[in-house]
Amino acid sequence: MPRIGIFIDTLQGSIPASFQEKISDYVKKLPEIAFCLEEENLASSEALSRMGKRLEAGGLDGIVIIGGSPKLYETSFQKLRHPLPLNPYLFAVANIREQALWLMLEEEAALERAKTIISKTIRAVSHSKPIETQSLPLKPDVLILGGGITGISIAQELAKAGIHVFLVEKGTHLGGKALELHRFYNRPLEVRKWMDEKISVVKNNPQITLLTQTELKRLEGHLGRFQAKIQGPDRTETVLAVSAIVAATGYASQRETKGIYRHKRVIVFPEMEKLLSETKGPSLLWDGKKIEMVTYLLDGVNEDIKVDSINAVKQALILQEAFQCQVAILCKDVKVAADGMERLYRKAREKGVLFFKYEEPPKLSIVNGQIQVDVKDTAAIQKREQWPVSILSDFVVVSEAFVPTPETESLSGLLKIHLGNRGFLMEDNPQLLRVRSNRRGIFVAGACRFPQEVSESLIEARAVTQEVTALLSKGTYTYDLAVAEVDPKKCAVCYTCPRLCPHSAITVEKYGEKNVYITSGTGQETKWGAAKVDPASCYGCGICVAECPAKAITLQHLTDAQIYAQMGMME
Amino acid sequence: MQLEEKEVLIIGGGISGITVALELAQSGIPSTLIEREPSLGGLSASFCCKASESCNKCFACVVDKRISEIHQRQDISIMTQTEVMGVKGNGGKHRVSLKKGKERIDLKASAVVIAAGINPFDASQKVEYGYGRFKNVITAKDLDEMLRYHGALFRPSDGKLPKTITFFQCVGSRDESIGNLYCSQVCCAYALRLIKAIRYQYPEVKATFLYMDIQPAGASFQQFLTSCREDKGIRLIRSLPSKVYHSPLSDTLRVRFTDPERGEVVEDSFDLIVLSIGMVLSKEAKHLTELFGLNLTEDGFIASPPPQTGVFVTGACSGPKDIDRSILHAKSAAFLVQQHLRGRS
Amino acid sequence: MIKAEQKPIDEILKYLNPYNKILLSGCGACVTVCHAGGEKEVELLASGLRMARQKIGKKIEVLEITPARQCEPEFALEMSETIEKVEAVLSISCGVGVQTLVRHFPKIPIFPGVNTSFLGETITHGVWEERCQACGNCVLEKTGGICPISRCAKQLLNGPCGGSSKGKCEIKKEADCAWQLIYDRLKALNQLYKMEEIIPAKRWGVESRDSGLRRIIREDLKV
Amino acid sequence: MSAFDPKIVAFCCDQSGYPAADMAGTLKLKLPKNVEIVRVPCAGRIETIYLLKALEKGADGVLVFACYEENCQFLRGNLRAKGRLSYAHRMLEKIGLEKERIEICHLATNSGAKWVETLRRKSEQLKKMGPNPGKL
């Protein structure tokens, strides 16, 4: 018979005294009970120290707290390891406030319900076992994949925080897509200059090992012990030992090349950006002729990405103000959901930039060497038959499609992180808070997650830096062994769990104990392995446990017996 | 990288303040979080789940999770019903005097994070929409609370399910007449998500969405928007309404707006009108800018001071943000605070 | 390895009708890997059987066991004590496992609980595909490693047939034409000349499946 | 004999169902009497056998409260649970039990009202259906 100690928490009176008395009477009659004490506010430090004193006497197999939601207590006992002389996993909470008292119409029913909850909890806790804590040393070494604006910023900030960074870029130079920009929409800087400064800081920082023309080839290990094999320019391979990894590989753009899109007067944003940065004179020239009319055609391919809209308004203002061009912007919606954009948009309208909102895609045709754009403007207050408008333009600037880089898919395989619906890394699961990946110790930042404006990428870069420094700052990662564990003797090596583990925490490792075959003549062991869960990477969700066909996996803190006890049916 | 224990004061217990506190705690920096209201969570704690058949990425559940997480931590001291009364000192040596009920508390802080949040725009300022006069004209915040606490949609006037419901976008945003020359960046997404959630729960309810421009939000927005466009029960009309009339006999609301298809002003009746209100800086946050000597941006939000002042501004009070971006910004603010403290030690 | 699929429980219930105490035996090898007859499946089926019989007011007692491999006589014999206690055995190992029990327990009815489907490969979690029909005379060397016996609906040895269209089979529209795969692979390996080689017809009745019980005897191994 | 009060085993994911239950309590919403709450870290922890065992050992209905799709803290736990439910449904159909006895409900942390509403509805539905004939 296990001996269970009981604490009744009245939660500052939210469990009425009369109710609490009935509960005490019931509890005291139970055979397993070693003692039953009452507290007004168990989460207070005084109550905890009283509890500590009471527990020092020892001789207990578990503690049941009768009170409110377990969420009120659990972390104070488990994660923070309040110095109580009993393992935190031997505590269980009978939530009679939220789930009995408050959910029941009559007190009688509430009392019955509370009793059931208490007896179930007592049975569950008698199946609990102590769970130990482990820690994993973390060296301050981080691998950043991608030398674009996001990667550079993260490297710079991490280096400031005293973390050594391997910055790996597959191209020959740093900078990435940001170099296609000439000016920002929201700050009076030249992108090139600003980037050059950042790049030179990165190049000259002894904390940053810069590896260009280098790619990730293979990744082994888990949080704190990643072994990344990289291949350099002369096909040399090196293995980097890092604690964490940041993927910031950016996006690619794809330009439409069919039909009229091949026409030299149909250009894309980077080309216009270049033209604007290279032209000094009072007017924009093309083949010796002045450019007078420029049309922007947006939302054809990137309807939900703000960047094009922002760049179009930004360029339109330069074209109108510095080069006296007439600009028309054709879009489905004007995207102004960025700081300062609404004012910029209004300014553009005041300066005479024309905005047309279409539903049907505008038609492009060549008329006398110029491009004619036919659009039906749905925004104007006029009848449907008056919608069509034709614009004869010297230039039509169209969006490029923003797509994942060609390596994204293989990268997701190497890093064992998820691809989103559109093929970018991770995309958005609200629970991952944007920058985390599904694997502990791997982060995703910038446009490889989703194409965005530079200032957004910079914020994201800083957020990643925060996550990485928070992870590495203590020098160790401490975790409870409240994780899944495989019994290698029962494992059928069916690869179900490594395939299904959402956090890629399971690998099939070689075990000496099982199925050792010695290849004849060589004396070399070729071992048939068993699945192994990396405890530091496991989140304890239990998916593998439920899926294992051989019942070889146990969730240490929530075994079958504990679940059946909660169901009120013991075997 | 050992930091000396230094007090960080976080003003505002909304999702931004909570995130800063949690992030700092993760890095081993204890902080004090103060909140004016009796409970944490701020504006976003009253939001409902906006999922339809699957999650629509509104992040409201994340707020609830963070709130319960912060209550479990013992390295963050939380003071509710607490206000800032005065500030002395600068450059990261702030003495802040706080008021909790009748109690006065003085706090030394090496860094102060202002995450005072925003107020939803006061919809009664748009007199023509009749908020406050007509019972069945409600704000999106009212709708959020209705769905969160009652789990049901009903007309305030009679408690019945509205058969037709319309959303007015840009109430208090992008509006020269009230001087708000900014997009609140969240209303399109939340209104469409609310519509989707309502249409899922009550397929018989028909929804209309009156807007200027649809503003995207997040990686899955395209897919989401397409599903809205394909839904026969949702009308997306690019037009902002000019006026709302009440017909007492049928208890419906007539709305006058320009029909872009017909190119003329039309009238339509609805059972319930929801105003998608934008964000404005709260009076209390403005008061803080005076206490700390901070500037406002052109749009009337708090401008970030240089980091050496030891004062950091994050969350929607520094410019409109949804929950997702507030969390992201709060994380980056936490990093700046950390850097500031490291620089001083 | 061997891939199997659980029989519909109503079919099993029919032949278990006369019995009130049975042993449900799984197998820790192939059928565990393909989620048809491992320890977990044993539990599930047992629970389903008990409920079904309870419903019709005819309780059944189900003992559960999952040996590491049912197709080895030693594992089978280990079960003898348990088997003696029951009226019948339901085995959800492959057909081999069922018959191993049959050989060793002549007096107890032994029923299969799964359909042994084929020798196949895991494509992804939950998807398995046939790769081998154990014809006894492997031709993979000639076909670029892709088996026309198991993967061509017509088992053509010198394909493809006229029904191959856009790389798909005419009999199973969703399946790839095996001979298209063979062609593509040989081309990639630069071994297209192998296509010109005629593979002689299989003598099914002499050395293969239709020649009666097949048996492998290794004189050197025999004890 | 008193009126039939169906027993429901409610598996609650710690990321959504369980906090929703707490919220329902805080809002003082009223729950049918006979509900056993089982707290699991993720709906993905719920094995198929638990669903069947619950019915076998005396429950009249089983509800699984999981997170909405694309909102699982563990990315795919809710989808795994859905798959396991479909296995259980197939089995129930074949043995002649109503598959409605096992149901999944997707919700979020803040769906207290929905949590109670779902349980009430299930309880009413089970009352009409009558006791589970498969329980031992």
Inter-chain Cβ pairs, chain A and chain B, closer than 8 A? 155
The beta-carbon contacts of A199-203 under 8 Å, at least 24 apart in sequence, are A199/A152, A199/A174, A199/A175, A201/A156, A202/A152, A202/A155, A202/A156, A202/A167, A202/A174, A203/A174
Nearest residue of C to residue D55 by CA position? C51
Tell me if A370 is assigned to some domain.
Answer: yes
Q: D40 lies in a domain?
A: yes
Per-residue model confidence (pLDDT) at position B50: 94
Q: Most confidently modeled of A103-107, A231-235, A241-245?
A: A241-245
Percent of chain B with pLDDT over 90: 76
Identify the pLDDT of residue A520: 37
D15 within some domain: yes
One domain, residues C148 and C100: no
Structural domains counted in chain A: 4
Q: What is the CATH number of the domain that holds A62?
A: 3.40.50
Chains in contact with chain B (at least 3 beta-carbon pairs closer than 8 A): A, D
Whether A514 has a pLDDT exceeding 50, the answer reads no
Beta-carbon separation of A543 and D24 below 8 A: no
CATH code, domain with D94 = 3.40.50.960
DSSP labels for C103-135? Answer: HH-TTS-EEE-EEEEEEEEEEETTEEEEEE---
Residues C187-221 pLDDT 10s = 999 999 999 999 998 888 887 888 889 989 999 99
Per DSSP, the residues of A403-449 read EE-TTHHHHHHHHT--B-TTSSBS---GGGTTTB-SSTTEEE-GGGT
Kindly list the residues from chain C whose CB atom is less than 8 angstroms away from the CB atom of residue A496: 35, 125
pLDDT of residue A107: 86
CB crowding B90-127: b at 16 or more within 10 Å, else e: eebebebebeeeeeeeebebbbbbbbbbbbbbebebbe
Interchain CB distance below 8 Å, D95 and C43: no
Same domain, A449 and A532: no
Answer yes or no: is A563 within a domain.
Answer: no
Number of domains into which chain C is organized: 2
Q: Which superfamily is assigned to B8-117+282-344 in CATH?
A: FAD/NAD(P)-binding domain (3.50.50.60)
In tens, the pLDDT along C28-60 reads: 999 999 999 999 999 999 999 999 999 999 999
Chains B and A touch (3+ CB pairs under 8 A): yes
| pLDDT band, residue A76 (cuts 50/70/90) | low
Alpha-carbon gap, residue A428 to A450, rounded angstroms = 9
- Give CATH for domain B121-278: 3.50.50.60
Identify whether A562 is part of a domain.
Answer: no
% chain D with pLDDT above 90:
88
Average pLDDT over residues A100-121: 90
Q: What is the CATH number of the domain that holds A225?
A: 3.50.50.60
**What radius of gyration do chain B's Cα atoms show?**
22
- Tell me the pLDDT of chain C averaged across its residues: 93
Question: How large is the average pLDDT for residues C62-70?
Answer: 93
Mean pLDDT, chain A, whole residue set: 88
Which of D36, D46, D78, D119 to mutate to probe the A interface, most A CBs <10 Å?
A: D36
**Residue ranges per domain, chain B?**
8-117+282-344, 121-278
Instruction: Please check whether residues C49 and C7 belong to one and the same domain.
Output: yes
Flag whether pLDDT at A79 surpasses 80. no
pLDDT tens readout for residues B176-208: 999 999 999 999 999 999 999 999 999 999 999
The mean-pLDDT minimum among A74-83, A339-348, B258-267 falls in A74-83
pLDDT at A82: 52
pLDDT grade for B154, boundaries at 50, 70 and 90: very high
* Number of C–D residue contacts, CB under 8 Å: 49
C140 in the same domain as C73: no
Residue D57 to chain B, least CA–CA distance (Å): 32
- Predicted confidence at residue A513, as pLDDT, reads 46
Most confident of A188-202, B70-84, B198-212: B198-212
D114 CB neighbours in chain B (<8 A) are 151
Residue A500 touches partner C, C-beta closer than 8 Å: yes
State the residue range of the domain holding C202.
134-207
Widest pairwise Cα distance in chain B: 72
pLDDT category at B4 given cuts 50, 70, 90 is: very low
The answer to whether residues A261 and A395 belong to one domain is yes
Residue D136: inside a domain: no
For residue D69, tell me if it sits in a domain. Answer: yes
- Per the CB < 8 A criterion, the answer to whether B182 and B173 are in contact is yes
Q: Is residue A345 part of a domain?
A: yes
Would residue C217 count as lying in a domain?
no
Residue A484 clears pLDDT 90, i.e. is over it: yes
Average pLDDT over residues D1-19: 89
- How confident is the model at residue C206, as a pLDDT? 80
* pLDDT of B304 above 90: yes
When pLDDT is cut at 50, 70 and 90, the band that residue A518 belongs to is: very low
Q: How far is CA A430 from the centre of its chain?
A: 8
Task: Report the complex ipTM.
Answer: 0.92
Residue whose token pair is 């995703």: A444
The pLDDT of residue B1? 36
The pLDDT assigned to A285 comes to: 85
Q: Is residue A34 part of a domain?
A: yes
pLDDT bin (cut points 50, 70, 90) of residue A570 is: low
CA-based nearest residue in chain D for residue A432: D73
Shortest CA gap B215–chain D (Å):
22
Touching, B vs C (3+ Cβ pairs under 8 A): no
- Regarding whether C91 and C63 lie in a shared domain, the answer is yes
Kindly identify which residue of chain B lies nearest to residue D15, measuring between CA atoms: B65
A83 has a pLDDT exceeding 90:
no
Residue A329: which pLDDT band, with cuts at 50, 70 and 90?
Answer: very high
**Domain assignment of residue A113, yes or no:** yes
Q: How far is D134 from chain C (nearest CA, A)?
A: 4
Q: Is B141 on the interface with A (CB under 8 A)?
A: no
Q: Average pLDDT for residues B78-105, to the nearest whole number?
A: 88
C90 and C19 share a domain? yes
Mean predicted lDDT score pLDDT of chain B: 91
> Which of C119, C144, C114 lies closest to C131 in space, CA to CA?
C119
- Report the pLDDT value the prediction gives residue A511, as an integer from 0 to 100: 52
CATH code of the domain containing C34: 3.40.50.2300
Q: What is the DSSP letter of C1?
A: -
> What is the crossing angle of helices A307-323 and A269-278, to 10°?
30
**Together in a domain, C139 and C88:** no
Residue of D47, D95, D133 lying closest to C48 (CB–CB):
D95
| pLDDT value at residue B219 | 83
Q: Which domain holds residue D82?
A: 8-129
Are A28 and A59 in the same domain? yes
Greater confidence (B345 vs B118) lies with B118
Neighbors of chain D by Cβ distance (3+ pairs < 8 Å) = A, B, C
B55 to chain D, any CB pair closer than 8 A? The answer is yes
Which residue among C40, C124, C125 places its CB closest to the CB of A551?
A: C40
Using the predicted structure, report yes or no on whether residue A515 has a pLDDT greater than 60. no
Tell me the C-alpha distance between D18 and C185, whole Å. Answer: 54
- If asked whether residues C6 and C114 sit together in one domain, one would say yes
Q: Nearest by CB to A550, from C32, C122, C125: name it.
A: C32
D15 in reach of chain B (CB within 8 A): yes
pLDDT digits (tens, 9 = 90+) for B271-295: 999 999 999 998 889 999 999 999 9
Interface test with B, best of A339, A349, A403 (most B CBs within 10 A): A339
Is pLDDT at A527 greater than 90 in this prediction?
Answer: no
pLDDT more than 70, % of chain C = 100
Across the interface, do A567 and D21 touch by the CB < 8 Å criterion? no
For residue A8, give the nearest of A114, A129, A128 by alpha carbon: A114
Q: Which of residues 211-230 of B touch D (CB under 8 A)?
A: 220
Domain for residue D3, yes or no?
Answer: no
Average pLDDT over residues C152-168: 92
- The CA distance from D95 to the nearest CA of chain A, in Å, is 22
Are C83 and C27 part of one and the same domain?
A: yes
pLDDT at D15: 92
Residues of D in contact with C59 (CB under 8 A): 136
Q: Is the pLDDT of residue D42 over 60?
A: yes
Range of the domain at A227: 141-252+403-477
CA nearest neighbour of C8 among C90, C114, C159: C114
* Closest by Cβ to A550, choosing from C39, C124, C125: C39
Closest Cβ–Cβ partner in D39, D53, D74 for A566: D39
Answer whether residue D135 is part of any domain.
no
In this structure, are C28 and C95 located in the same domain? Answer: yes
Domain assignment of residue C7, yes or no: yes
What is the average pLDDT across A476-493? 90
Give the mutation candidate from A489, A493, A496, A564 for the C interface (greatest C CB count, under 10 A).
Answer: A496
Structure confidence at residue B3 (pLDDT): 40
The structural domain count of chain D equals 1
- The answer to whether residues A335 and A243 belong to one domain is no
Best CA proximity match to A397, nearest among A253, A273, A259, A258: A273
The larger pLDDT score, comparing residue A41 to residue A164, is at A164
